[in-house]
Amino acid sequence: MEKARSNVSFRWQWSMAWRDSRTNRRQLLVFVSSIVLGVAALVGISSFGRNLRTIINEQAKTLLGADLVIRSPRPWSPEAEVLLRTIPGEESREVSFLSMVTFPGHRDTRLAQVRALEGEFPFYGEFETEPTPAAVSFRLGPSALVEESLMLQLGLQVGDIIRIGSFDYQIAGKLKKVPGESGTASMLGGRVYIPMRYLGQTRLLQAGSLANYRAYFRLRPGIDIDALGRRLEPSLARLQLDSETVEERKASLGRAFQNMYHYLNLVGFVALLLGGISIASSIHVYVTRKLNTIAVLRCLGARIGQTFHIYLVQALAVGVVGAIAGSLLGVAVQWLLPTLFREFLPIITPFSISWLPVLEGLAIGVAVALLFSLLPLLRIRRISPLLALRSSFESQVAGRRDPYRWLIYLLLILATMGFAIAQTRQWRQGLVFTAGIVISLGFLALVGRLMMALAREFLPNSWPYVWRQGLANLYRPNNQTLVLLLSLGLGCFLITTVYLIHYLLLSQISVSGGSSRPNLILFDIQSDQRAAVAQLLQAQGAPALQQVPIVTMRMTQVKGQKVEGLLLDRRRTIPEWLLRREYRCTYRDHLEDTETIVAGRWNGHAEPMSIPAISLEDKTAQRLKVQVGDRLDFDVQGVPMTVTVGSLRKVEWEKVTPNFFIVFPDGVLEKAPKFYVLVTRSQSSQMSARIQQAVVSQFPNVSVIDLALVFASVDAILSKVSFVIRFMAMFSIVTGLTVLAGAVITGRYQRIQESVLLKALGASRRQVLRILMVEYLFLGLISSLSGLILALAATWALARFLFRFPLTIAYLPTVAVLLGVLGLTLLTGMLSSRGIHSRPPLEVLRSDTF
Amino acid sequence: MSKSVPVLNVHRLTKTYPSGDRTLTVLKEVSFSLGTSSTLAILGPSGSGKTTLLSLCAGLDRPTSGSVFLQGVCLDPLGEDQRASLRNQFVGFVFQTFQLIPTLTALENVMVPLELRGSNQARHLAMELLERVGLGERLDHYPVQLSGGEQQRVALARAFINRPRILFADEPTGNLDTETSEIVADLLFELNQAAGTTLVLVTHDHELSQRAERIIRLRGGSIISDTRSNPQLQGN
């Protein structure tokens, strides 16, 4: 009996919820719109990420172009050759290095990544070239495949000649895509492929030259790659060679992209949280309008739980509809994303719907909507039926002391933290994200309220009525000013911060390459060329500012432990790359101004007959787990050498001068084979081009890095990254504008009444419109200024504590964001208010109910 | 039901509110009792405590001291939901401002009390009652589409649908013109008589109060008189 009654009650609550929403569905739809964008962002990014993972799995072999690749930072030793010959299958080899490429017909030079290829690489996937046959034909003669962007920059055509070192190659085709590489791979220098058998003619590679060597393998069918890996591991460790299999590439790419889309998901989640806050605010207004209905229902015998459920069902419906609409939009967003990420992706991701992210988005959307809705809905529990008798009776609403309210706050914080931890897979980052959100919202609310209070306090009474009324409107009963301030402010904060950080990073490079600092770096200068290159620079009006000798070496022991053994030790904590790498060290008797000793003592001259004391970069020392006094052993191009750590140095890497992990004192490496790096400064881009041409024509093996071009490359990468982040931050701004439109529509009746009353009191239509304009103007201004203050604070903190740069502010984008948000707020507000002023006064004054 | 069991028994009811530093006494030691099918009008000027008394009798509010027994059940120890359940079972309401739910049609408004009970007769009985109050043609109209008099007739139908033992009417004609007031008052008494419901009527309207069997006059929160009304006017 009781069960039957409870079923009836359940049905009645749902049917009452449906009936009660009848005249408010348009309004409820507006609430729905608050979470649509947040859910869309989450679903779009997650679906895209999932697709990407699937594609990475499906196209794994084309990501590497082979089953196995072995890499070496030096030419293959006879032992390495023996090892490579034991690998069963087809082999292809590549030697890659940075070099200047000249274009005889165009009087221009450019730094390029030259890759000499032998064999049939890629074994899986193919070079995308134009014309298509060039991918094969360039291997047949002295031809080259040249990066498409490089050809575009220099106006080169297929059939033109390029010169690498001392040899000319005919361009066989434009290189559009290399399997497994994204567009950013060519940022430092365009890729140029040549056949290996014409590499020698360049005469570029000499002992000590900087080059990378790769051997690609297509394994014979039936070969167990894991077993092969286990067999090769000890030899690879002994020879300090590096290997990568398809599985490893898959895992590392998967991790990289997972990180990327998890962080973007967090930006999307911010939009959803804003939507949630907006729903809480809208439902508060909604419940306020329903107080009477709730009181009447209570008079007629409805229980507290029943009235609560009627509105909970409506909130749930808002969440479900919003989440469904958001998911649909998310699928559309996903369609856009491959274009957005094109530059960063090594593979093309075709569009397909992934249901799991859609379901996740739905669940998260509904949960966020529901949790935020509960805050205003709690109040229903305290609404007295007495309100039906006395409209002036102020019911005891759920105040701060309501324990459920605190429980919901706690749940919201835990949910945010849970989501962030699930995305970042790190407790600390999840906590930092949640704390960041709470602090940002708290700060925005504080700054916004303070600014509003100041505006109210200091707005002179002598100001026109229109201005005073416009500001007063922000304080109207049931206003949603705070939630608008939070959503617009947070969006503005995110976008401005991204702009400011982008500018900050660029400004550092431009400062480093600025007035007195070097902006041309010449490297791979052989000892016998050093004086002549310096002379050439002098003759061009750009004397060498620094001449730095570089000696390459391999680490063989750390504190007496063999590197080979360390590499095989699965419990080791020293990163593999640090053990395998080719160390490029310098020697000098002084410290540069980018270096500070933090431990031990720097001695610029080696003590005769004693073990040399080197200076190690402090972070490298931390990673190698060594301290002052510890022993390190190196193989300096065949000569063993033992050193001790004499001092630890902090290095300012952001300053673009030759910086080193290891600096030797004078008197140790002078006789070792070495090359030099020279840095100089050119006064203009023309001078830079002239120097590059002169250097390359006389010293083809010398490469020149033009920092202006590096600057342009970094700018291009940062622009793309910041565009992606801005794209995600736009979800917050647009959510803010949706909230604004929603708030105007929610408060429409109140506005209509006010406008009619004002008209009845003699205000002109123009004055009423101007009052609204002033209201939106204040709202936009206070929101964007609050966001801006927060953005400046965040940028300052990042500059000070993360990047350790002095704060520089990009005024133009800052003002542009400010004006943009202001303009959009005004436009959205005025568009949403359309029709409010055309209602006939009599109709409005007579009607009692909405 | 025997007349000897009071439907409503009010015993030394007092209600005070804090007002700044002082305590405001709205109702002071009010006691009375009502039998089945009796009609009572509570008269008094604004602020005399009429509505407060009504709200306490219906269990909408809690007294500072004293007790209310509704259908023999003491309201004091009951929680909000138990009171709501009791109201749904025994009480009907008519409000001065009609208090129809704006999002429900006339028919749906009338159905609510029975729907809350889980009755499957709600629609049928609501249609009958609306027919009886002369709104058989306006079942699907929303409150905003009805005149004041029509809205109050819907409210009457809603008040009677659960066959209440007691009906509380708070200024039922207070928002209506004279002509409509008379129609609504006639209907109220007619339905009340037919259902055998006890009626508690709060009003300013002297003429309306005369139609009740008994009149309690309040001033300053205390009963100043408790009289039988003019029997000749009753039932008019």
CA distance B99 to chain A (A): 7
Query: Shortest CA distance to A632 belongs to which of A642, A623, A624?
Result: A642
Is the CB of residue A271 less than 8 Å from the CB of residue A735?
Answer: yes
pLDDT for position B111:
93
Distance in Å from the first CA to the final CA of chain B:
26
- Are B116 and A300 an interchain contact pair (Cβ–Cβ within 8 Å)? yes
Nearest-angstrom CA–CA distance, B142 and B146: 7
Provide the pLDDT for residue A344.
Answer: 65
Q: b/e map of B19-33 (b: 16 or more CB within 10 Å)?
A: eeeeeebbbbebebe
Identify the pLDDT of residue A848.
43
**Inter-chain CB proximity A303 and B85 less than 8 Å:** yes
A575 touches B at CB < 8 Å:
no
Cβ atoms of A143 and A168 within 8 Å: the answer is no
What pLDDT does residue A93 have?
Answer: 94
Encoded amino acid at A303, one letter: R
Interchain pair B99, A299: CB under 8 A: yes
- Paired tokens of A225: 């790659």
Sign of CA dihedral A144, A150, A151, A155: negative
pLDDT at A631: 95
Q: Are the Cβ atoms of B108 and A301 closer than 8 angstroms?
A: no
* Residues in Cβ contact with A159 at an 8 Å cutoff, skipping those fewer than 6 apart: A170, A171
Q: Dihedral of the CA atoms A60, A63, A64, A67 (nearest 10)? A: 20
B80 vs A contacts (CB less than 8 Å): 303-304
A605 touches chain B (CB under 8 A): no
Q: Of all helices (H) and strands (E), which one includes residue A334? A: helix A304-340
A86: helix, coil or strand?
coil
Q: Kindly state whether A439 is in contact with chain B, defined as any CB-CB distance less than 8 angstroms.
A: no
Tell me which residue of A616, A622, A671 sits closest to A644, measured CA to CA.
Answer: A616
Cα–Cα distance for residue pair A722/A718, rounded to 1 Å:
6
> How many cross-chain Cβ pairs, A to B, lie less than 8 Å apart?
93
Write out pLDDT tens, residues A549-577.
999 898 999 999 998 888 888 788 888 88
**Burial of A679 per CB tally in 10 Å (0-12, 13-18, 19+):** buried
Q: What is the pLDDT of residue B106?
A: 94
Long-range contacts of residues A72-75, Cβ cutoff 8 Å, at least 24 apart: A72/A212, A72/A213, A72/A214, A72/A239, A72/A240, A72/A241, A72/A242, A73/A212, A73/A213, A73/A580, A73/A581, A73/A582, A74/A213, A74/A552, A74/A582, A75/A211, A75/A213
Inter-chain touch A304–B115, beta carbons under 8 Å: no
Closest CA to B115 of A769, A280, A31, A16: A16
pTM recorded for the entire structure: 0.72
> Would you call A301 and B99 a contact, using CB atoms and an 8 Å cutoff?
no
Instruction: Output the pLDDT for position A1.
Output: 46
Q: What is the pLDDT of residue B29?
A: 93
Q: Which of A19, A22, A301 sits opposite B87 (nearest CB)?
A: A301
A671 touching B (Cβ < 8 Å): no
Of A301, A390, A850, the CB nearest to B84: A301
Look at B88 and A301 and tell me if their CB atoms are within 8 Å. Answer: yes
CB-CB: which of B81, B93, B97 is closest to A299? B93
Peptide bond between residue A122 and the one before it cis (omega within 30 degrees of 0): yes
A396 part of contact set with chain B, CB < 8 Å: no
Closest CA of chain A from B232, distance in Å: 31
Inspect the interface and report whether the beta carbons of B103 and A293 lie closer than 8 Å: yes
The terminus-to-terminus CA distance of chain A in angstroms comes to 40
Q: In chain B, whose CA is at the least distance from the CA of A302?
A: B84
SS3 A651: strand
Asked if pLDDT for residue B3 goes beyond 70, the answer is no
For residue A754, give both structure tokens. 């006010």
For residue B136, how many C-alpha atoms fall within 13 Å in the half-sphere facing its CB?
A: 7
Find residues 256-315 of chain A whose CB sits inside 8 Å of chain B.
292-293, 296-306
Per-residue model confidence (pLDDT) at position A726: 72
Q: What is the pLDDT of residue A397?
A: 45
**Phi/psi at A836 (5° precision):** -65, -35
- Select the residue of A298, A305, A389 nearest B51 (Cβ to Cβ): A389
Provide CB contacts within 8 A for A412, sequence distance 6+.
A276, A371, A372
Hey, which residues does B200 pair with through a beta bridge? B40, B168
The partner residue sitting opposite A300, judged by closest CB among B54, B88, B118, is B88
| Euclidean distance between CA atoms A184 and B84, whole angstroms | 69
Could you give the C-alpha distances from B53 to A522, A828, B63, B170, B210, in angstroms and in order? 97, 51, 9, 11, 19
Query: Closest-CA residue in chain A for B85?
Result: A301
User: Is residue B175 less than 8 Å (CB to CB) from chain A?
Assistant: no
pLDDT of residue A496: 83
Q: Which residues of B touch A293 (CB under 8 A)?
A: 101-103
- Check CB contact under 8 Å for A299 and B113: no
In the chain, the amino acid numbered A67 is D
Residue A106 CA to chain centroid, in angstroms? Answer: 38
Residues from chain B that touch A15, judged by Cβ atoms under 8 A, are: 115
ipTM field: 0.89
Q: Please indicate whether, in this complex, the C-beta atoms of A301 and B116 are within 8 angstroms of each other.
A: yes
**pLDDT tens digits, one per residue of B112-164:** 999 888 888 889 999 999 999 999 999 999 998 999 899 999 999 999 998 99
Q: Go through chain A and tell me how many residues it has.
A: 850
Below-70 pLDDT ranges, chain A: 1-8, 105-107, 182-188, 206-209, 256, 259, 342-351, 391-400, 477-479, 508-517, 654-656, 713, 744, 746-749, 804, 836-850
Contact criterion met (CB below 8 Å) for A738 and A484: no
Chain A, nearest residue to B87 by Cα: A301
